[in-house]
Structure 1
Amino acid sequence: MLALPAVTLFAVVAIYPLVASVWTSLFDQSLLRSDRSYVGLDNYSAIWPDFLSRLGTTLVYSVLATAGPVLVGVTLAMLLNGRVRGRNVLRGLLMLPWLLPGVVVSFLWAWIFNDSYGVLDHLFELVGLPQVNFLGRPGTAMIAVVVAKTWNAFPWVMVVALAVLQTLPAEQLEAACLDGASRLQRFRYVLFPHIVGPVALVSMLEFIYNFGSFDTIFVMTGGGPGTSTMTLALSLYQYAFSSFELGKAAAMGVLWLVALSVVCAGYFLLNRKLESRS
């Protein structure tokens, strides 16, 4: 009886929408008409090529948008962990990108990368470099989106890495210095083993979040140019609200959920492995 309210809430919020989505994926259903017809697995076979293509794009974006914040965040955490003048002020300032909503960050970087009045192209013009349409070219659109996401997400990784670094006993670093270890050796044999576990968990969480990310790509590129930045989230949105095909959108969502479940399983296995070590 004590668990009944929580179980009921979970069933209403999570279980029912999931079952309804799976059921909808078996029908030819549209927002433009009230009736629907049972088609079985036809929706899955119809969207399967699109799913594979969008899955590849989603994986590329997720990997890059995870690696960027982790590299920048860990590097800044290492710098701020040392004796840097005004480091408390720097910590506060570096948290600002994380405090901004994703849509605001997306519009900000869309303005920076704009080929007509963007700040970046203006700087290129000042130094005599040719202007680049970052958001209008397939080769650079993904890079622009990843840069925006990296700027937005690195403070979270930085805070976690910095918190872990501050739990490292100073005696270990002092002993390594007395033994003649270089900075690279101190990082490799002292610092890195200390932070690798928490940073790995943060990386997995960030990857899971990026796997379902929607706002940054939707605002900056809309999945274009062409389909160069079309992820699973945007593809589902297009099926549902551009083509009005709810059955295919639900099928895409179910396949997306299966793929994301594999990623989440990897996170739980990693978490269990790290807990067993500790």
Structure 2
Amino acid sequence: MSTAAPPQKAPPPRRRTGGRLSNGAFALLLTAPGLALFAAIIFYPLLSALFTGFFEQDLRLPGREFVGLDNFAYWLDGDLLAILEQTLVFTVGATLVPFVLGFALALALNTGLKGSGFLRGLFLFPWVIPGVVVSFLWMWIFNANYGVLNGVLMETGIIDESVAWLGRPGTAMLAVIVTKTWASFPWMMVMLLAGLQTVPKELHEAASMDGAGSVRRFFAVTWPQVRGVASIVLLLEFIWNFQHFDTIYVLTGGGPAGTTETFATAVYQTAFKGFDIGRATALGGLWMLLLLLLVAVYLRITERKGDA
């Protein structure tokens, strides 16, 4: 008796491995155009500028000469500390003053003040005006010959003669800070008002029932709830003011006698007035290092806020 052979199993189909990309390679392929654009317009110019800081190069003359760290030493041994001090004076003043003003207005609008919607839109008006236009407006206000400020102060008897607000070392920085405050407080007001509106009303009601006054309620209820928003607003405004240019340049150009000169105006003056692109890029490199420290602090604060 013959037995039939068992049926043979068909071999499993072969997997095609040559024509498929891994997930990592596919993701890299998708991001390649963006990375190439980033390298072309940001990374390469940045490296090129930093590399230029090691050369003596005049914009009016062809060629350049390698000088090593001489350009950096020129600033470290010279005006760097004065420029840093003036930059910090402007940055701190143009950050804290509009913060206090914006916070006060945000608190007032958050109370349900009559006409708060109209006032909120009115206060946003300075924020939507371009910075150069704001600067020219306040240049007219501070003008020593026909400025509105001098006219009002003389009419009220506060001063006896016109003051050159933008031409005096003692008042020029104050005038610049006032101008920047007028332009930036609306943004801070809106952000802080948004934070205030997230504070539960039940907390205020409970604090009032416990006998807490308005000042105590602010420090015990309001401030702990908006502290995170306030810290982000302050740090962002500090970073922006640390690299601010247009208001200072239009109003004073860094003068008088360099008393309002910041990193932004010093780099511009060195490169396009002194035509020394090597020293300008060296100062820009030192400026960038300080900005990176500020950005690192900002990222650290946002990470903590996200983990909370």
TM-score between the two structures when normalised by the length of structure 1: 0.97
Q: How many corresponding residue pairs?
A: 277
d(CA) in 1 for partners of 2:187 and 2:230? 11
d(CA) in 1 for partners of 2:112 and 2:267? 48
d(CA) in 1 for partners of 2:190 and 2:197? 11
d(CA) in 2 for partners of 1:191 and 1:70? 16
Question: Where does residue 200 of structure 2 map in the other structure?
Answer: 169
Question: Which whole-Å deviations, capped at 9, do the CAs of 1:169-196 have from their partners, x for residues lacking one?
Answer: 1111111111111000110001111111
Which residue identity does 1:6 align to in structure 2?
Answer: G
- 2:239 equivalent to 1:208: yes
**C-alpha deviation, 1:275, in angstroms:** 1.9
Match of 1:30 among 49, 55, 58: 58
Question: Where does residue 119 of structure 1 map in the other structure?
Answer: 148
d(CA) in 1 for partners of 2:121 and 2:241? 25
d(CA) in 2 for partners of 1:193 and 1:168? 10
**C-alpha deviation, 1:31, in angstroms:** 0.8
Unaligned regions of 5+ residues in structure 2, if any? Answer: 1-28
- 2:247 equivalent to 1:219: no
d(CA) in 1 for partners of 2:202 and 2:304? 28
Which residue identity does 1:192 align to in structure 2?
Answer: W
Question: Where does residue 237 of structure 1 map in the other structure?
Answer: 268
Match of 1:264 among 295, 301, 305: 295
d(CA) in 1 for partners of 2:306 and 2:261? 37
- 2:72 equivalent to 1:44: yes
After superposition, residues 87-236 of structure 1 pair within 5 angstroms as 87-130=116-159, 131-236=162-267
d(CA) in 1 for partners of 2:58 and 2:106? 50
What is the SS of the residue equivalent to 2:261?
Answer: coil
Question: Where does residue 23 of structure 2 map in the other structure?
Answer: none
**C-alpha deviation, 1:132, in angstroms:** 2.2
Which residue identity does 1:78 align to in structure 2?
Answer: L
The runs of 4+ residues in structure 1 deviating greater than 4 Å are none
Which residue identity does 2:138 align to in structure 1?
Answer: W
Which residue identity does 1:121 align to in structure 2?
Answer: N
Unaligned regions of 5+ residues in structure 1, if any? Answer: none
Question: Which whole-Å deviations, capped at 9, do the CAs of 1:223-263 have from their partners, x for residues lacking one?
Answer: 11111100011000011001100101110110110111111
d(CA) in 1 for partners of 2:240 and 2:63? 35
d(CA) in 1 for partners of 2:211 and 2:112? 20
TM-score between the two structures when normalised by the length of structure 2: 0.88
d(CA) in 1 for partners of 2:226 and 2:257? 40
Question: Where does residue 9 of structure 1 map in the other structure?
Answer: 37
Which residue identity does 1:28 align to in structure 2?
Answer: E
- Alpha-carbon RMSD: 0.9
d(CA) in 2 for partners of 1:50 and 1:21? 21
**C-alpha deviation, 1:276, in angstroms:** 2.1
**What is the identity percentage for the equivalent residue pairs of Structure 1 and Structure 2?**
47
- 2:111 equivalent to 1:82: yes
